[in-house]
């Protein structure tokens, strides 16, 4: 609000300007203590849509009786519309009502796998749809699906190729996370029968100092925190893991013979 010059002004007239962003600028004038002021307001119109139930609106028109004749609208409470079926065939009437109600319901989710009314992650047929997509998407490790012309990122080409091969042989289809876990297991070794006094620093300084490893984790007891004589070591490549297994398997360390195996073999034999 700002004071304006002493020019003749129509104080009852308002100037309305429509802006590009959907708002309106309203300019008006007022006189206060002999000073003219220009008032600029920016207004945005908001439409509020109120949905009502036709059955409830019809009940509001019913004539009141008894002690409620003099009650105003503020004292009245209208409950939900609950259908009540009378007759011998009330079950058929209820089914017709439910079917009519379901037809008006709009599906909020459409599955990209089977087209059902649920999320794609909750599809009951994920393996089947993944197999079909993988078989048609790629035939080799670096293949790009030519039928659709879509670009396949390099990070997903190995997954599509593996799933296409698995679908052809009838094996289980893997997700992106399962494929990553499988690739990591192929280059992870289990160092078993370790001395209970062995620490992670001992392994990294003396056992793994000549190998290219990614991480080393010593398994400890959950309650006491003491070592359980077991360690998982992930290497950068499968070849490096094989070299470490051939070197340390059945060799002594801290007066105890170690057993070094790949994690898949360790899970099968325990």
DSSP helix/strand/coil, 180: helix
Number of Cβ atoms within 10 Å of the Cβ of 188: 21
DSSP 186-233: TTEEEEES--TT--HHHIIIIISTTS-EEEEEEEE-TTT--EEEEEEE
Reported pTM: 0.41
Q: Which ranges constitute the DSSP H helices of the chain? A: 54-60, 90-103, 126-137, 154-169, 176-185, 200-202, 238-248, 263-269
Those residues whose C-beta lies under 8 Å from the C-beta of residue 178, and which sit 6 or more positions away, are: none
State how far the Cα of 221 lies from the Cα of 239, in Å rounded to an integer.
31
**Pairing mode, strands 256-257 and 252-253:** antiparallel
- Phi and psi (nearest 5°) for 251? -110, 155
Q: Tell me which residue of 121, 229, 248, 254 sits closest to 262, measured CA to CA.
A: 248
| 3 state SS of 124 | coil
Per-residue pLDDT of the chain (270 residues; tens, 9 = 90+): 555 555 566 667 788 898 888 889 988 888 888 888 888 999 888 888 888 878 878 888 888 888 877 777 777 776 777 777 888 888 888 888 888 777 655 556 666 666 666 677 767 665 544 445 444 444 444 443 444 556 777 767 777 777 777 777 777 777 777 878 888 899 999 999 999 999 999 999 999 988 999 999 999 998 888 999 999 999 999 999 999 999 999 999 999 999 999 998 888 877
């Amino acid at each position: 609000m700002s004071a304006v010059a002493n020019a003749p002004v129509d104080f009852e007239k308002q100037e309305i300007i429509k802006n590009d962003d959907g708002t309106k600028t309203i300019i008006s004038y007022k006189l206060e203590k002999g000073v003219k002021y220009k008032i600029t307001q920016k207004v945005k119109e908001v439409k509020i849509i109120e949905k009502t139930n036709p059955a409830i609106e019809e009940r509001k028109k019913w004539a009141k009786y008894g002690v409620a004749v003099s009650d105003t609208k503020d004292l009245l409470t209208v409950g939900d519309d609950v259908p009540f079926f009378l007759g011998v065939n009330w079950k058929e009437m209820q089914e017709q009502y439910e079917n009519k109600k379901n037809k008006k319901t709009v599906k909020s989710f459409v599955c990209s796998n089977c087209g059902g009314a649920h999320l794609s992650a909750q599809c009951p047929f994920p393996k089947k749809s993944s197999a079909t997509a993988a078989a048609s998407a790629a035939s080799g490790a670096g293949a790009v699906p030519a039928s659709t012309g879509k670009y396949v990122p390099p990070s997903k080409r190995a997954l599509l190729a593996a799933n296409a091969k698995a679908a052809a042989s009838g094996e289980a289809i893997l997700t992106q996370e399962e494929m990553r876990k499988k690739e990591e297991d192929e280059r992870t070794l289990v160092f078993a029968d370790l001395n209970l006094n062995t620490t992670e620093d001992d392994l990294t300084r003396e056992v793994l100092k000549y190998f290219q490893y990614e991480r080393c984790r010593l398994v400890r007891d959950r309650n006491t925190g003491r070592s359980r004589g077991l360690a998982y070591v992930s290497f950068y490549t499968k070849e490096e893991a094989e070299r470490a297994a051939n070197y340390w398997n059945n060799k002594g360390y801290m007066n105890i013979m170690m057993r070094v195996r790949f994690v898949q073999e360790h899970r099968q034999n325990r």
